[in-house]
Amino acid sequence: MIKRDTIFKYIKDKYKVSPEYLFLKSPDCALFRNKTNNKWFGIMMHVEKRKLGINEDGSIDIINLKGDPEFNSILRSQEHIMAAYHMNKKHWISVLLNYDFPVNELFEMIDWSYKLSTKKK
């Protein structure tokens, strides 16, 4: 299980970005913006499992990340990755964090999302 603090630290250390909490109804929803252009590259949420189509009680931490639409369709075939919750399902994916998921793979996905959110010159 990947902890929220591990992700927060990685993003802070690598990109000098701290989480923003913008949603009054979801105070634990953490948004990450690219400092060069204010575009979102990640959103961490605590979501009811049933809202994600998981037939279990309780809730789960997820992170939504931007990705290439063709690559996202491949990623969604992996366990614990699905079409993004509450985002454009073509351009975003959700990674379920309460399960075993390789932290290095997640960090690569965060890096890719950050790169995609960077303004093209």
- Rg of the chain over Cα atoms, rounded to whole angstroms, equals 14
| Domains, the chain, ordered by start | 4-97+104-117 (3.90.1150.30)
User: What pTM was computed for the model?
Assistant: 0.88
As given in the structure block, the two tokens for residue 80 are: 């614990």
pLDDT tens-place string over residues 84-115: 777 767 889 999 997 788 899 999 999 999 99
DSSP, res 20: B
Q: Give the pLDDT confidence of 20-77 residue by residue, as tens digits.
A: 998 878 888 899 999 999 999 999 999 888 888 889 999 999 999 998 877 777 777 7
Nearest partner of 8 among 76, 63, 55, 78, judged by Cα = 63
How many Å apart are CA 94 and CA 86, to the nearest integer? 9
